[in-house]
């Protein structure tokens, strides 16, 4: 069973930064792509960023491109999301997820295991 545990969320002022972490259990972490999604109250869960198993390829939602950076450390079974220049509209619960082999990365159907989420609040 794979477990994903997010951390690093919190309250930050607009323009500030946060770094989210997602620690994964299991010895096969390095063979899977990983993604970050977010969900604000009353909205659907939306794609934020994804990274290939090696870290060589990264993908971003247009809304976060240039402000957020996804990375991973396979030796630590951890994926990160560095969030800079945060805006009030970035406030949400952020989830990390493990990619399904051969699936697309922009929809929730492309992921099979999810963390419990970490809250990000951005004050204006």
Check pLDDT > 90 for residue 122: yes
Q: Average pLDDT, stretch 95-116?
A: 94
Tell me what percent of the residues of the chain surpass a pLDDT of 90.
93
Tell me what percent of the residues of the chain surpass a pLDDT of 70.
100
Check pLDDT > 90 for residue 11: yes
Residue 59 burial (C-beta neighbours within 10 Å; 0-12, 13-18, 19+): middle
* Residue 103: predicted pLDDT: 87
For 117, how many CA atoms within 13 A lie in the half-sphere containing its CB? 12
């Amino acid at each position: 069973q794979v477990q994903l545990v997010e951390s690093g969320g919190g309250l930050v002022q607009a323009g500030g930064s946060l770094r989210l972490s997602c620690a994964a259990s299991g010895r096969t972490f390095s063979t899977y792509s990983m993604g970050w999604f977010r969900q604000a109250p009353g909205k659907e869960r939306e794609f934020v960023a994804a990274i290939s198993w090696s870290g060589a390829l990264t993908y971003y939602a247009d809304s976060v491109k240039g402000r957020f950076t996804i990375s991973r450390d396979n030796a630590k079974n951890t994926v990160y999301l560095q969030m800079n220049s945060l805006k009030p509209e970035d406030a949400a619960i952020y989830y990390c997820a493990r990619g399904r082999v051969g699936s697309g990365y922009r929809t929730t159907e492309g992921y099979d295991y999810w963390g419990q989420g970490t809250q990000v609040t951005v004050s204006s």
